Amino acid sequence: MTEFTWGGSQPATWGGSQSATWGVSQPTAPTNVSATVDGIRTVVIEWEFTSNADSAIVERSPFGSGNWTEVGTVAYPTTTFTDDDQSKLDDERYDYRVIASNSIGSSDPSAGVSSDRLPLPPVEGVAVDDISGRSATLSFTDPSNNKNGYRTLLKKPSDGSYSQDGTDIEPQYALEFPGDGSEVTGPGDWSSIGTGDYTIVAVARWDDLNRDGANIGSSVFRDNGSNVYSFNIYAGGGGIKAWDSAGGTGGIGWGSAPEGEVITVATRRTDGLRELYGDGLVRDSDTSTTDISSTGGYAIGISEDNVDSKSLDGAVERVAVFPYSLTDEEIDAFSEGIMPDGPSPLLHLGMNDGPPSAIVTDTSGNGNDGSVKGSPEWAAPLSPIRYKTTELLDGQQYDATVETFTATTTVREDQ
């Protein structure tokens, strides 16, 4: 309630630009709030206004955490809001509350309510890509952003039910970077490369190839040491580029790279020939004798000059650095999750960790784990996942399906 006193030292002025609103008070909290799951990462919130409200503010918190953030505002008399923010995690619950507001102020928050668990979407498009010897290679896509892994199930026509083939498959993710300076950084020693061969390869998506007109931005990999030894894959000036030279000179580029699409891109050096390979073709080349001898680690997402407006707006699924030159076929296989048969990479970030981890594990064996900084989000993988079965029986036909599972939920592709 707003109070005022007649008399005293402050005179009242009639007319002019100041006006008083008679009979309006601060609203009271909405009542009968509900939160109903209505599909993948979608929750419908409903409530009833009490009095004097002009609008409602809807807030969300991870279940039981009390970390409230505003997710939407609607004007009176609307009493429903659909929260379809895709950053919510599959198979998790969320709390909601509603605050009424008007020109005088805001009400206390309503009582909080909790949603049911959000659906865990099953994998899609299970298919046989190849049959070799007694094994089949299956592929599938995964739209989920939160899971513990997958199981491949097989069944012969004579079997009554499916049985798991092999062991559980590690979960696959991508990291979505919002172009706000978010990054992943970690240690790394590239000195074994010297003036020899190398390959940097990444599966990624750039949503903006010209961040702030930058020639040094949107890195999916960059050496984090001295510029003298820098070697990168990055986007700027409307295309994808690579360098391994002092001060940014000598870059090679792919000016017609697609924006907003998942691509596999690599830069490699073979006996002094440096090439930029993108989606199945060599896009540019030159000669290079740069001595790659940095021990400064790596960064993904941020630009060389650490300017937020030049940072990555897009996603990264996997990145690796090899101390030798990969063939076209090996680069293409890497895009399908198949590692080459040669020596281990110096770095391999396969994006297997998932939420809520703030670490990206290096699976090369060199311990170059990355720290997630800023606000990149774990998301569904960008490309199909592939699985090679164990040995199958000769002359038998098999049905195949895939389960996605968490600690609480299991869903199957064919159900």
Q: What is the CATH number of domain 124-173+386-412?
A: 2.60.40.10
CA distances from 22 to 1, 2, 3, 76, 104 (A): 12, 10, 11, 20, 12
Tell me the per-residue pLDDT of 317-349, one tens digit each, with 9 for 90 and over.
Answer: 999 999 999 999 999 999 888 899 989 999 999
Report the alpha-carbon distance of residue 97 to residue 106 in Å, rounded. 13
pLDDT for 215 equals 54
pLDDT over threshold 60, residue 1: no
Chain CA centroid to CA 181, Å: 14
Ramachandran region of residue 383, left (φ > 0), alpha (ψ -120 to 50) or beta? beta
Of the listed ranges 62-76, 178-192, 231-245, the one predicted with least confidence: 231-245
pLDDT over threshold 80, residue 40: yes
Reported CATH class of domain 174-379: mainly beta
- Three-state DSSP at 235 gives strand
Q: Report whether the peptide linkage leading into residue 77 is cis, meaning its omega lies within 30 degrees of zero.
A: yes
Tell me the per-residue pLDDT of 269-304, one tens digit each, with 9 for 90 and over.
Answer: 999 999 999 999 999 999 888 888 888 899 999 876
Tell me the per-residue pLDDT of 159-169, one tens digit each, with 9 for 90 and over.
Answer: 989 999 999 99
pLDDT for 250 equals 56
Burial class of 94 by CB neighbour count within 10 A (0 to 12, 13 to 18, 19+) = buried
Going edge to edge, which strands form the sheet with 113-114?
69-75, 55-62, 94-101, 113-114
Residue pair 229/292 in contact (Cβ under 8 Å)? The answer is yes
pLDDT for 94 equals 98
Q: How confident is the model at residue 18 (pLDDT cuts 50, 70, 90)?
A: very low
The CATH number of 31-114 is which of 2.40.50.100, 2.60.40.10, 2.40.30.20, 2.60.120.10?
A: 2.60.40.10
Q: How confident is the model at residue 245 (pLDDT cuts 50, 70, 90)?
A: low
pLDDT over threshold 90, residue 106: yes
Going by the DSSP 8-state scheme, the letter that residue 362 receives in this structure is: B
User: How is the chain split into domains, by residue range?
Assistant: 31-114, 124-173+386-412, 174-379
Establish whether domains 31-114 and 124-173+386-412 are of one fold.
yes
- Reduce the secondary structure of 69-119 to three states and give it as a string: EEEEEEECCCCEEEECCCCCCCCCCEEEEEEEECCCCECCCCCCEECCCCC
